[in-house]
Amino acid sequence: MLKPIATLALGSLCAALPVLSQAEVINVQVGVRPYFLVDDMSPGPLKKRLSSLSCQEGPFHKTDFSIGHRGAALQFPEHTRESYEAAARMGAGIVECDVTFTKDKELVCRHAQNDLHTTTNILTLPELAAKCTTPFQPASFDAGGNLLSPAKAECRTSDITLAEFKMLRGKMDASNPRAKTPEEYQGGTASFRTDLYAGPSSGTLMTHKESIALFKKLGVKMTPELKSPAVAMPFDGFSQEQYAQKMIDEYKEAGVPASQVFAQSFNLGDVLYWVQNEPAFGAQAVYLDDADLTANPPIPVPTQAEMQSWVDQGVKIWAPPTWVLLAPNKAGTGFVPSKAAKAAKAVGLDLITWTLERSGILADGSGGFYYQSVENVLANKKNEGVALEALDVLGRQVGIRGIFSDWPGTVTYYANCMGL
């Protein structure tokens, strides 16, 4: 086996990814980003430990603490084979397929049932674009070139069959509101991401069954999320319960032990369905939480009493966004566990959280949705290494069992160094 290359350049890391075997995945490579983040940290004991030779030189090993969020979506089109393989190469011990369904009720990996217009090339394929719920409508402008109405479209997996879905290629999740053509609408990728790995020879879309086969080959555990349908249920006789059951059935048919699967949903009803009807899978089903104080109206953080009610019904794992589990210290110079984090532990909930490496540039003092409770800490730090400080509090003080990341190499590096 080749010696792990801890300092492989990021471009070389990505270029090496497309075809992997079980043996190659064992040779975990974290790339240069973790080293950049450590170098950019504020001085202190954590930076000293993370920059020690024993951490920097590896070797690095796969860890269930590191969960590939949609694969490795910081650089690769989400929920594609290439994105999943990148996550495994970077040591993610668990990889996510968000699950939705097509017109013929086949399960596929997409973040939302209605995101094909922003995550694939469907609008550039006229025979499929014509089937979209809302076909492409160009932006309109006044005589001075000012935007009057943005370009729009809505294309759902339920608009097309599985065979038609397999004709698509994945791209970075983005759109151009000023687009006049479907081709222009394909743009808009955030500046901190890249389209370098979203060419016509990549972006391979996956069915749910294909993701299971790939994850078995890569030797990773699986965390499918049953996505809320964009269509009314039942859909052509396909009920929510049948949808939840079909997802589990595909793991059973593939011979995947329940211990290797962390089924997720934002819908408590789905989680309770698994707890009651598939107890082996329900025992580690994950109840996702979409708390958001910036929403209109705000979505509040659950109370301890609500958490206790979930536990009483059989829920064992709660997965809120990272900001819910963090609070600023009194000086506003660092992070501490939040009241919600302490409440969850008090009622016996295990914790998984989301999502690291999804907020773009942190050094400008703003972390957006994922840091909404601790913006003052970012404003004081003004560096990228603050992400590792947040991760350390989540890992060693809050006591999470894992964290989703758009670039799992960062979490893999931290987890290996800290013995998580």
DSSP annotation string for 167-204: T-BB--S---TT-SSHHHHT----TTS-STT-STT--B
Q: Per the domain annotation, does 235 fall within a domain?
A: yes
pLDDT (0 to 100) of residue 26: 66
Q: Tell me, yes or no, whether 286 and 323 share the same domain.
A: yes
Q: Tell me, yes or no, whether 167 and 222 share the same domain.
A: no
Q: Per the domain annotation, does 197 fall within a domain?
A: no
Q: Per the domain annotation, does 191 fall within a domain?
A: no
Q: Tell me, yes or no, whether 178 and 288 share the same domain.
A: no
- Is 379:312 a contact under the CB 8 Å cutoff? no
pLDDT (0 to 100) of residue 199: 87
Q: Tell me, yes or no, whether 92 and 227 share the same domain.
A: yes
Per-residue pLDDT of the chain (420 residues; tens, 9 = 90+): 333 333 333 443 444 444 555 434 469 999 999 999 999 999 999 999 999 999 999 999 999 999 999 999 999 999 999 999 999 999 999 999 999 999 999 999 999 999 999 999 999 999 999 999 999 999 999 999 999 999 999 999 999 999 999 999 999 999 999 999 999 999 999 999 999 999 899 999 999 999 999 999 999 999 999 999 999 999 999 999 999 999 999 999 999 999 999 999 999 999 999 999 999 999 999 999 999 999 999 999 999 999 999 999 999 999 999 999 999 999 999 999 999 999 999 999 999 999 999 999 999 999 999 999 999 999 999 999 999 999 999 999 999 999 999 999 999 999 999 999
Q: Tell me, yes or no, whether 96 and 126 share the same domain.
A: no
Q: What CATH number is given to the structural domain containing 57? A: 3.20.20.190
Q: Tell me, yes or no, whether 164 and 225 share the same domain.
A: no
**How far, in Å, are 185, 189, 378 from residue 75 at the CA level?**
19, 11, 24
Q: Which residue type occupies 239?
A: S
Q: Tell me, yes or no, whether 156 and 131 share the same domain.
A: yes
Q: Per the domain annotation, does 195 fall within a domain?
A: no
Q: Tell me, yes or no, whether 330 and 305 share the same domain.
A: yes
Q: Per the domain annotation, does 49 fall within a domain?
A: yes
Which residue among 143, 158, 185 closes a domain? 185
**Number of domain units in the chain:** 2
Which residue among 153, 185, 217 closes a domain? 185
Q: Per the domain annotation, does 304 fall within a domain?
A: yes
Q: Tell me, yes or no, whether 243 and 99 share the same domain.
A: yes
Give the SS3 label for residue 336.
strand
Range of the domain at 118: 114-185
Q: Tell me, yes or no, whether 125 and 86 share the same domain.
A: no
Q: Per the domain annotation, does 320 fall within a domain?
A: yes
Q: Per the domain annotation, does 79 fall within a domain?
A: yes
pLDDT (0 to 100) of residue 16: 41
